[in-house]
Structure 1
Amino acid sequence: MSKIVVEHQPSVSRLETLGVSKWPTWQKEVSVFPWFFPEQEIAYILEGECVITPEGGEPVKFGKGDLVTFPAEMSASWEVVQPLHKHYQLDGSFIGRIARRVKRALKL
């Protein structure tokens, strides 16, 4: 199983190279919920603090200013400790992401 990678306080040039400021954003209130990552996701944390525990793995803590890579095909439990606001980028094309989700839903 691939691991969650947290880059604490990445450089401005790294964020610019990735185009983070053009990525969509997502927000979540303080909560606990399960999540499945069909594809790799990279997130830049604008605000908040979270602990994510991969199924069968150790908890990973991250927060404001961190760049986090979540591997594809990972099930995890999220704990949003402080309200979350993040930029995020999903791997692959829009059509590819839809196809993966449909395939998984139909268990093909």
Structure 2
Amino acid sequence: MKEITVDSNPSEATLKKLGVEHWPTWQKEVSVFPWAFVTTEVAYIVEGECVMTPNDGGSATTFKAGDLVVFPNGYKGTWEVKQPLKKRFKHQDGNFVKCALSRFKILKNRLKSKG
């Protein structure tokens, strides 16, 4: 299984180039739950701390506020939200409906910020 990648110190220029400020947000309280990614998800962690443990027995990945994280399409594992999570995210490379909805939300947010 592909591994999660974490950039622990993305530059402001990188975040701006990616358009992170326009990505939709998702929040989750402290909890543990299984998840299977049907897209490649790029996420910027705004608040919180989490550990993702893959189902295949591989090494767990920890990420926290300020990290830019890429969850590969097909990754299956367990979320452990250690501190309440708030992330900005976009979907790419995978489930067509999820990717299209993500693009729509980002476009809507861009238009709203210009208004």
Give the shorter-chain TM-score range. Answer: 0.7 to 0.9
Q: Output one character per residue of 1:15-65: Cα deviation in whole Å (capped at 9) or x when no partner.
A: 001000000000000000000100100000000000001111111000000
SS of the residue 1:49 aligns to: strand
Whether contact under 8 Å (1:44, 1:86) holds in the other structure is yes
1-side partners of 2:4 and 2:34: how far apart? 16
1-side partners of 2:93 and 2:60: how far apart? 27
Report the counterpart of residue 85 of structure 1 in structure 2: 86
Whether contact under 8 Å (1:32, 1:78) holds in the other structure is yes
Shift, 1:97, TM fit: 3.2
1:72 aligns with 2:73: yes
Report the counterpart of residue 3 of structure 1 in structure 2: 3
Structure 1 unmatched ranges of 5 or more: 99-108
Amino acid corresponding to residue 71 of structure 2 in structure 1: F
2-side partners of 1:37 and 1:97: how far apart? 13
SS of the residue 2:62 aligns to: strand
Report the counterpart of residue 25 of structure 2 in structure 1: 25
Structure 2 unmatched ranges of 5 or more: 99-115
1-side partners of 2:97 and 2:51: how far apart? 25
SS of the residue 1:9 aligns to: coil
User: Please, what is the CA RMSD of the aligned residues?
Assistant: 1.7
Amino acid corresponding to residue 13 of structure 1 in structure 2: A
Shift, 1:74, TM fit: 1.1
Aligned length: 98
Whether contact under 8 Å (1:39, 1:97) holds in the other structure is no
1:49 aligns with 2:67: no
